Amino acid sequence: MPFTALGLRKPITDALEELGYETPSPIQTKAIPAIMEKRDVIGLAQTGTGKTAAFTLPLLDRLSGDSRTRTKGEARVLILSPTRELAAQIHKAVKEYSKNLAIRSTCVMGGVSIKPQIRALNAGVDVLVATPGRLEDLAKQGAIDYKTVETIVLDEADQMLDIGFMPAIRRIMGACKNIEQRLLFSATMPKEIKQLTKQYLKNPVEVSVAPVSKTADKIEQSVMRVNAGVKISAVIHILKSHENKRVIMFCRTKRGADKVVKRLKHEKLDAAAIHGNKSQNQRVKALEAFRNGSVPILIATDIAARGIDVPGIELVINYDLPQVPEAYVHRIGRTARAGASGIAVTICAPEEEDILRRIERLIKIQIPTMEAPADLPMPAPLPRGIKMAGNNRGKPQRSGRRPPRQNSTVKKGAPKKGKAPSILEKAMSAVDRAEKEGSFANEGNFSEPQKPKARNRGNNNSGNKKGGQGRRSGPNAEGGGPNSSNKRSNSRPGNRNNQSKRSNNNF
Ligand code: AMP
């Protein structure tokens, strides 16, 4: 079926043709008509299958048919993203898809100067892509007129409705009193979060094209079991046997990511790190160098696990297992995008077997074992006292803000002692607390909630079992949210510059 059959205007289909999009992907085929009918939508589809276009194209189509003078602070479509990198990427897609339209869009995020963002909003925009923290900063300064928002999109919706981001999302949605349409898109949707979405959506249509949390069929997954102390040797072995490939490797901690980079450089493997302790300028540079191929290996925390679309990533390595099973789906989804194929290797220490089992239960696949080389050496000390990654002394990398502390008072209906509270329970208690503090004053048109120096130490380097049990997400550490500390740079995020014509194997 061609894009024209979906009723999209010619300037849009012309732009798609230029991008090499021939036919809509399954999520696009299902979601675009529902969005055009102004329905609330939950869109669930595997990573890399065209979700951005699925929600952007019909919204652009609507906006282009209804031109009018923009007012100060106006933003008719508000797209919220958990990370700055993803926000920049979505905005780039918006610009590409709307290149033949008189649509004005902008992107606001932390870590860069707020002044140009205020100037852009003063003129009013049709589409605003934002990270929640900076959006709220702008709102406090009166730069955004929430009443003009007609459509709100939560990309990576399960993360946005998770405990770290939820208070901000509720405040924003509550302040947008004239919302006519809400769209939630993600590749994963834990049951508890899905339950929450019912409070935010009105009579939603659910469009899903594959079982939720399914990993792409074209990813060849494997797990290599080694002791934590020799993980780096295992990784070097894998990298050397995949020379000249574009590789992204995920570490649990920011500090661990930096140390892996140092170790790889020592081995003459060129790598850059991207994580929440880097300035926005460094983050942009690392991602750009990776995109343009000048640095072939990107070492990332879960900041880069969701949504980031760098064509040509052939290998994903999980140096540490993620803290929550869903993150695995997003991490390995950095490869095999838009119909391509890819490889994902997970390095698993004995103490990480538990989270590996939870991942396998989630994706309903037993990940095949890759034999580890028998003679993996313990890493030698690095010059100048550089210590190795893989220990658990660095902070576990969250994909966002630290969840608020739980109130220690046991309340009626609270989870029994000893039983970990469910995500829903944790989320609701955060909401309760915020409501008491009055931070959800404007509920608007939303229904009320129902309420190594691990070196040579052998096998205990990467485990952080306790940390691995909780769901973590939120705006600050990574995503440019309200507490983000990287405010030094004024540079804007880089753009993908190797967008190529795509074949439509899966599209
Ligand atoms: P997304 O899941 O939105 O990050 O998209 C994944 C990749 O697929 C991006 O590089 C898009 O540019 C590309 N893409 C999206 N829709 C199509 C389509 N219909 N045909 C070809 N490529 C597409």
Whether residues 29 and 157 fall in one domain: yes
Say what the pLDDT of residue 469 is.
Answer: 36
Decide whether any atom of ligand 1 lies within 6 Å of the 502 Cβ.
yes
Q: pLDDT class for 210, splitting at 50, 70, 90?
A: confident
Decide whether any atom of ligand 1 lies within 6 Å of the 333 Cβ.
no
Which is more confidently placed, 262 or 489?
A: 262
**Which of the 8 DSSP states describes residue 43?**
E
Q: Which atom of ligand 1 is nearest to the CA of 47?
A: 2
Whether residues 106 and 248 fall in one domain: no
Q: pLDDT class for 56, splitting at 50, 70, 90?
A: very high
Identify the domain boundary among 164, 179, 208.
Answer: 208
Helix, strand, coil percentages, rounded to 5, for the chain: 35, 15, 50
Whether residues 177 and 289 fall in one domain: no
Decide whether any atom of ligand 1 lies within 6 Å of the 507 Cβ.
yes
Whether residues 185 and 270 fall in one domain: no
**Centroid of ligand 1 to alpha carbon of 53 (angstroms):** 7
Residue nearest to atom 4 of ligand 1 (CA): 48
Whether residues 147 and 229 fall in one domain: no
User: Has residue 389 been placed in a domain?
Assistant: no
Say what the pLDDT of residue 384 is.
Answer: 67
User: Has residue 260 been placed in a domain?
Assistant: yes
Domain of 306: which CATH number?
3.40.50.300
Three-state secondary structure call for residue 80: strand
Residue of 52, 59, 97, 218 best suited for mutating to test ligand 1, as the one with most atoms within 8 Å of CB: 52
Say what the pLDDT of residue 505 is.
Answer: 32
**Centroid of ligand 1 to alpha carbon of 230 (angstroms):** 38
What distance in Å separates the CA atoms of residue 111 and residue 81, rounded to the nearest whole number?
Answer: 15
Say what the pLDDT of residue 420 is.
Answer: 52
Say what the pLDDT of residue 432 is.
Answer: 41
Whether residues 169 and 274 fall in one domain: no
**Centroid of ligand 1 to alpha carbon of 28 (angstroms):** 10
Residue nearest to atom 12 of ligand 1 (CA): 50
pTM above 0.85, yes or no: no
Decide whether any atom of ligand 1 lies within 6 Å of the 55 Cβ.
no
Least confident range from 360-374, 409-423, 437-451, 463-477: namely 437-451
Which is more confidently placed, 106 or 441?
A: 106
What distance in Å separates the CA atoms of residue 399 and residue 401, rounded to the nearest whole number?
Answer: 7
461 neighbors 390 (Cβ within 8 angstroms)? yes
User: Has residue 240 been placed in a domain?
Assistant: yes
Say what the pLDDT of residue 431 is.
Answer: 40
464 neighbors 257 (Cβ within 8 angstroms)? no
Q: How many domains does the chain have?
A: 3
Q: How far is CA 340 from the centre of its chain?
A: 20
Up-side HSE of residue 463: CA atoms within 13 Å toward CB? Answer: 17
Whether residues 272 and 191 fall in one domain: no
CA dihedral 279, 492, 327, 191 (to 10 degrees): 120
Question: Helices (DSSP H) in 98-228: which residue ranges?
Answer: 115-122, 132-140, 157-160, 166-175, 191-200
Residue nearest to atom 19 of ligand 1 (CA): 24
Quick check: 211 pLDDT over 50? Answer: yes
- List, in order, residues 6 or more apart from 164 with CB less than 8 Å away: 398, 400, 401, 402, 403, 472, 473, 474, 475, 476, 481
Mean pLDDT of all residues in 345-367: 97
| CA proximity to 57, closest of 88, 90, 87 | 90
Model confidence over 375-387: pLDDT tens digits? 898 888 877 655 5
Whether residues 330 and 471 fall in one domain: no
Q: Which atom of ligand 1 is nearest to the CA of 311?
A: 10
51 neighbors 155 (Cβ within 8 angstroms)? yes
Residue nearest to atom 15 of ligand 1 (CA): 50
Helix axes 353-363, 325-332, angle to 10 degrees: 70
What distance in Å separates the CA atoms of residue 21 and residue 339, rounded to the nearest whole number?
Answer: 12
User: Phi first, then psi: what are they for 457, rounded to 5°?
Assistant: -90, 5
Quick check: 466 pLDDT over 50? Answer: no
Whether residues 341 and 265 fall in one domain: yes
Quick check: 506 pLDDT over 80? Answer: no
| CA proximity to 219, closest of 351, 328, 83 | 328
The domain of 468 spans 422-439+448-454+464-496
Least confident range from 67-76, 244-253, 269-278: namely 67-76
Decide whether any atom of ligand 1 lies within 6 Å of the 337 Cβ.
yes
Whole-number average pLDDT of the chain: 81
Whether residues 106 and 198 fall in one domain: yes
What distance in Å separates the CA atoms of residue 3 and residue 32, rounded to the nearest whole number?
Answer: 10
Quick check: 138 pLDDT over 70? Answer: yes
Look up residue 22 and give its amino acid.
Answer: E
Mean pLDDT of all residues in 401-405: 40
User: Has residue 377 been placed in a domain?
Assistant: no
What distance in Å separates the CA atoms of residue 96 and residue 476, rounded to the nearest whole number?
Answer: 29
Q: Which atom of ligand 1 is nearest to the CA of 307?
A: 4
Decide whether any atom of ligand 1 lies within 6 Å of the 3 Cβ.
no
Residue nearest to atom 6 of ligand 1 (CA): 48
Quick check: 272 pLDDT over 50? Answer: yes
**Centroid of ligand 1 to alpha carbon of 89 (angstroms):** 12
Quick check: 310 pLDDT over 50? Answer: yes
**Centroid of ligand 1 to alpha carbon of 339 (angstroms):** 9
User: Has residue 38 been placed in a domain?
Assistant: yes
Identify the domain boundary among 316, 347, 363.
Answer: 363
Look up residue 357 and give its amino acid.
Answer: R
Whether residues 248 and 196 fall in one domain: no
Q: pLDDT class for 1, splitting at 50, 70, 90?
A: confident
Q: Which atom of ligand 1 is nearest to the CA of 24?
A: 19
User: Has residue 372 been placed in a domain?
Assistant: no
Identify the domain boundary among 208, 230, 254.
Answer: 208
Decide whether any atom of ligand 1 lies within 6 Å of the 474 Cβ.
no
Residue nearest to atom 14 of ligand 1 (CA): 50
Whether residues 48 and 177 fall in one domain: yes
Decide whether any atom of ligand 1 lies within 6 Å of the 26 Cβ.
no
User: Has residue 292 been placed in a domain?
Assistant: yes
User: Has residue 408 been placed in a domain?
Assistant: no
Residue of 309, 495, 504 best suited for mutating to test ligand 1, as the one with most atoms within 8 Å of CB: 309
